[in-house]
Chains A and B, each alone.
Chain A
Amino acid sequence: MKLLRGFPAMALSVVLLSIVGFFVSQESVGLLLVCGALAAMSWYITEGPRGRSLPRWTSNVLVLAVTINVFVDFFQHREDVLGVLGRFVVWLTLIKLYERKVSRDYAQLLSLSMLLMLIGAIRPGSLVFAAVLFVYAALGLYVLLLFQLYASYERAKEARLSSIPSEYRLTPSVRPIIGRGTALQFRALGSGIGIAGLVLSSFVFVIFPRGMGECLVRGLHVAQNLRVSGFVDEVNLTTGTRITDSRKAVLNLRLFDKDGRPVRFDQIRLRGAVLDAYESGGRWVSSPGRPQRVVTTQPAQFAPLGAVAAEPSSLSITQEIEMLSPSDTLFSANVPVSIATDEPRQLEVDPQTQTIKNVGGGRLWRYSIETQPAPSDATLANLAGAGGGGGGAGPGPSSDSRMALFDPRLQRLAREVITSFGVAAQAPREADERWRWNREAARRLTRHLQSGEFTYDTDLRDVTLATVGGRTVDPTVQFLFETKRGHCEYFASGLAALCDSIGIPVRLVAGYLAMEYDDASQQYVVRESNAHAWVEVQTGSNRWTTFDPSPPRRLEEIHGGSPSFADRLRWLFDRFEARWEVGFVAFDQNAQTRFVESFDRQWSPRLGGAWAAVREWAAALNRAFYLGPAGYIWMGIVGLALVIAVIALVKLMRRSLKTRMILRLAHFRGAEYQRMLRQLGFYLDMLNVLARAKRAKPMWQPPLAYAADLGRDRPRASQLVQRITSVFYAARYGQQRLTRDEVRRVGSDVRELASALSVKR
């Protein structure tokens, strides 16, 4: 009863958890506080000392009002159907919480709570939601089990009470009928079911095929990742007006110096794609048709990326990258000079941009790249190949604009900015001076963009592209002169546009900014939220210098960490969240493949090794006893005999245990016990025969009474059972020792019984 009394409180906890879970998935703290408080209050109001509940008519009116509200809500938030549905379910749940509750109401409440969690789960799962879901699943299981008992009890009680005629004065008992140790056994069974469920669900989770059937119904497809942060090898400023962080880990990066010691920097820019062509409308792409160099790699061997091997440098750094999410683009910090992969691969290297792509097929999970932070001109020339130069700029400085931007304001602004910092407005003619001017001008323009006049913002949903004279204003121009708000791609495009307007060769680089260093594993964890864009300006015939116009403080906030206590907590949380996302949320077809491969890698050698060891041991044994070729046959026979012996022993032990239990021989000891075990097996055989004939003797029925029952349709079998039973009684209770003949006779009776009941022995 105590078990059942706790049910309403447990049910309320589950409902509360589902409300919390839903609002966590919605990231709506305000509604969580309001609805959570209302739900919690319902306990005191309905179940408290002066418990009151809503009359049915009131709750019906409220349900009607909520239903009308859901339509209004839907028309206001058409894009958020799940949110609308979820809020509707929350209101329904709250109304039900304030109603008088019988088992049917509890069933509805639990169903609503389940629906809430399902709606919450359709949204991208955060770690907090996952934690709530896990607790909900555990508690929900317990409550569900309890509900079965509670509902049945309520139903039984109601049925019994309502069946009593009104004039009948005595009321039969309505207490539940229970055995001993109910609560303990219930919890133990619940735990067992929970563990079995966890194992089975994990199994289903792992083996369920992924990557097929996505977007079967587009209308119902909820983008798994509404967060658009992440690496792309082209940039379009007009898409993705809101960038939200995806904490999905992309790769792990380790850096080593020349001597193999781990190296750590504040931030590492991993170059992925170099985009050197800007099309009007805010789209950056790689200019096509550039010559590529094909490099074939071998495991653990560094292959040079240049025409010949790069000359060694004392500052060279080796980066080891472990891809967590596969990509054909290889990332490298600084200038890559050689590469090694964990499996043979065919790579394509762009000599002008030093970007690398995997083109030979097959996924690349690990690779190492040797880079040089400050490469010499010779190294750069080697990498660029014979006659290679700065993209389309040629071997010397060029003032041709490569960006399709024709706004005179750009050049005016750029000149104003650089002259305000004391840099000449016009580029010098002499090459070296020109490269230096390029660097200085780019630096001043970068500082201008970081000056505070421009705001770093990832939510640009309120920004719309203006039109002037029927033509849409370029987003970069709008950013520079009107909105002055944007994210890294806007800042990079703005700097590129300004540089380009005064003839500085410039290109946009897309990649990752690695700032999150994990001290424990001594590696950078790079996530999709670390995706970044910056600019490279040509400052030498083959040299390009990096300029990042995004405000460094904002970058630090977004990509890095701070040492405060709260941030440390945040870091801890992030670690858990990263594990959750990498291990669970990002578990896809590739992860399945990796899982199977790792399983295979781990177990195949072990099993193979064990088999080899057995064979070796057998061979050694054969040699030791000079058994010759026939020795293996003998060993096989001995092994088989051992197996049979073990099986027989187990069967014998089980039989004696069963005999001991059924014949109640627990208080017999020594020879008498052995005699009983030896002689009374026939009774057990008889019971087995009866069970196999589907005429099992009930435990409660004495054998002779059972025989009498059996005699109604099987007289011969009944006689045999009586005869066997009388022998059994004599031996078991009459202290009579059976002779061999008697044992043989009763054995034949059992066989006859089997044939009488058509049981094959």
Chain B
Amino acid sequence: MTDISTTVDHAHEQDAHDHGPPKGITRWLFTTNHKDIGTLYLSFSFLMLFVGGFMALIIRTELFEPGKVLLNPQFFNQMTTMHGLIMVFGVIMPAMAGLANWMIPMMIGAPDMALPRLNNWSFWLLPFAFAMLSSTLFMSGGAPAFGWTFYAPLSTTYGPPSTDFFIFSIHMMGASSILAALNIVVTIFNMRAPGMKMMNMPIFVWGWLTTAFLLLAVMPVLAGCVTMMLMDRHFHTSFFNAAGGGDPLLFQHVFWFFGHPEVYILILPGFGIISDIIPTFSRKPLFGYHAMVYATVGIAIVGFLVWMHHMFTTGAPLAAQLFFMYVTMLVAVPTGIKVFNWVATLYKGSITFETPMLFALGFIVMFTFGGFSGLMLSLAPADYQYRDSYFVVAHFHYVLVSGSLFTIIAAVYYWLPKWTGRMYSEKLGQWHFWLTTIGMNVTFMPMHFLGLAGMPRRIPDYAIQFTDFNQICTVGAFIFGFSQLIFLYIVLKACLGKGKHDAMDRVWEGAKGLEWTLPSPVPYHTFVTPPNATTLQTESHAVF
């Protein structure tokens, strides 16, 4: 992880008082600098993206033809489980946390995060958690094979011995997320530059503030959930075991009480990123800043009241099904406000199509698409057909890949020149975008039809009439997977390349925000003295 060290080594060129970072591995082990920790988070997430992506390709290879291609079914199940866990907890969440660490202090004019030592710890819990989780692949009995939702009794009565390692790794990554969220809330509340009001903050900061509260509220519930599992497995309790008076259905309630807010945790910071990028490349202020803030908070609140839409077919009473159906549809209102505001920002703007903008526009189109398939799923009667089919797989990959992941990639392109001082190659960036978008749609679009035709998810084998579409999916997956190597090359070249620092301070002419007032690459220490009132005024989203 020392690979990014050059990015900030040039700090002392900019500022004679700046002592710069220490050398060697200890810099990364003991760092309390928000930029270093952000870099660590992002590097870790990038590594995990390739691990989880490799598993996805194994899954798609197995599904290239009906019958056995590569794997036995047990290992296939391990792959789907680990792929889901790694992508959710190891890629999207750390990447968002990395962006928060890098950008929030710079966006609110703070010298660092409020609790720098805690920050170090919250990152370093992660590599250990995931080392532990990955080690289960080599244990006798294999890795967890019950899906990333680890429903009881699959995970309690029938889970492999390695399930206990899984439980403790969930505890560790939960602790990491809670500490990061704690730090972010304290930073945003207490470290804003004098004169910066809550309603002047960039939407990315608002998105993360809301996300941090969601994390603080639901990660403890996840911790409680896996603790109950542990007790059921080893301490003769019966939370989820009917033999002792428990109820397996209770597991689904506890899990989805965490699980649904979790999906907003994965996307709300991304909404913030898009709300920063769209105005920059439209050269217009963000349309409806206040509405955006209220919509973000609104989504978070409603997110607590919809968990049972994951459980329509578990025998819930009609009244409950109706309630959760209508509230789920209600989520489309604040989300719709956001989409309309982005489009309204584009309206009559002078738009240019640099790579971050391409990813942002791709996000708007494809995320909305995923949102609509979500609306279809929210209809309880229709859900009886769609549930547990490839339609669901298609839906959540549209909102997570072309949703969360696209926003992260857009953010990296958007701020990479600011971080490293080097412009990426626009030509390569465009190649990356088009290959990714084509690969993504070729992979996941056919899955809608597979699901509607009745192909169940999480099955290594399928009926022969599904073969053609599965082969299209697999080809798309390989295009998608390998085009990420372009992204890897672009990022490594910007971080480690010997090219001169050609990025301007304001990188993008239409960009507004405190981070663009800093030199490129960003010095190791920034805003040791807070920005002055005039800068705040001219860079604020709410007023410009």
Decide whether A and B are members of one complex.
no
Query: What residues of chain A have their CB less than 8 Å away from a CB belonging to chain B?
Result: none
